[in-house]
Amino acid sequence: MKKVAVIMGSDSDLNVVEKALSTLSGLDIPFEAHVYSAHRTPEQARAFAQSARGAGFGVILAAAGKAAHLAGALAANTTLPVIGIPVKSSALEGLDALLSTVQMPAGIPVATVAIDGAVNAALLAAEILSIEDAQLASRLEALREADTAATLRKDAAVMDKFNH
Ligand code: RP5
């Protein structure tokens, strides 16, 4: 199976990024996590993106806050799918990172999830990899069914408590 690269702009993004890592682990998807910054280590970020396809990666997740150029900078240097995770890490509550990540010019796509949306970023990466992996597709189906069952249990609990 192709690996998922999980790149974060700073280790201060880890509290958000760890949700993506645990989601990938739960689906038995191999991944590598790195701290590369579009601003502080631009050469390392570029080199990683340029070599990612050859190194066996299938999708890149990029989490960054503030003026969040990481996802776009990685996408500029690879044709692998890049999923941006805007991180809430500043006085602007993540809106700065959301707009910096999502507003890409035509030609360099970044699929952007919600602010701090690390779980969905990992699930979207899994869905992309599942196109060529029937076993992973089955694991995704099972996860969706478990989520549905958990929500139905919540409905039953609310009905039991309030509907008389
Ligand atoms: C961004 O600036 C990082 O992705 C992080 O969200 C934010 C703050 O970084 P630190 O100053 O905490 O390293 O580049």
- Res 82: pLDDT: 99
What was the pLDDT predicted at 148? 98
Would you state the structure tokens that stand for residue 127, as one six-digit string? 């869905």
> Cα–Cα distance between 137 and 65 in angstroms, integer?
31
Q: Is 10 in the pocket of ligand 1 (CB under 6 A)?
A: yes
Q: Which pLDDT value is given to residue 90?
A: 84
With a CB cutoff of 8 Å and minimum separation 6, the contacts of 69 are 38, 39, 100
Q: Supply the pLDDT for residue 131.
A: 98
Cβ of 64 closer than 6 Å to ligand 1, yes or no, is yes
Phi and psi for 114 in degrees, rounded to 5?
A: -65, 165
Cα→Cα distances 114→35, 57, 64, 99, Å:
21, 23, 12, 11
Burial class (CB within 10 angstroms; exposed 0-12, middle 13-18, buried 19+) of 7: buried
Residue of 6, 8, 10, 88 with the most ligand 1 atoms within 8 Å of its CB, for mutation: 10
Residue 24: count of CB within 10 angstroms of its CB: 23
Q: What is the pLDDT of residue 164?
A: 86
The ligand 1 atom nearest the CA atom of 12: 12
What digits encode the pLDDT tens for the residues 91-131?
999 999 999 999 999 999 999 999 999 999 999 999 999 99
Residues of the chain with pLDDT under 50: none
For the record, the structure tokens of 53 come out as 């396809």
Indicate which residue's Cα is closest to atom 1 of ligand 1: 65
What SS3 class is residue 4? Answer: strand
Query: Ligand 1, closest atom to CA 87?
Result: 6
Nearest to 83, CA basis, from 122, 51, 48: 122
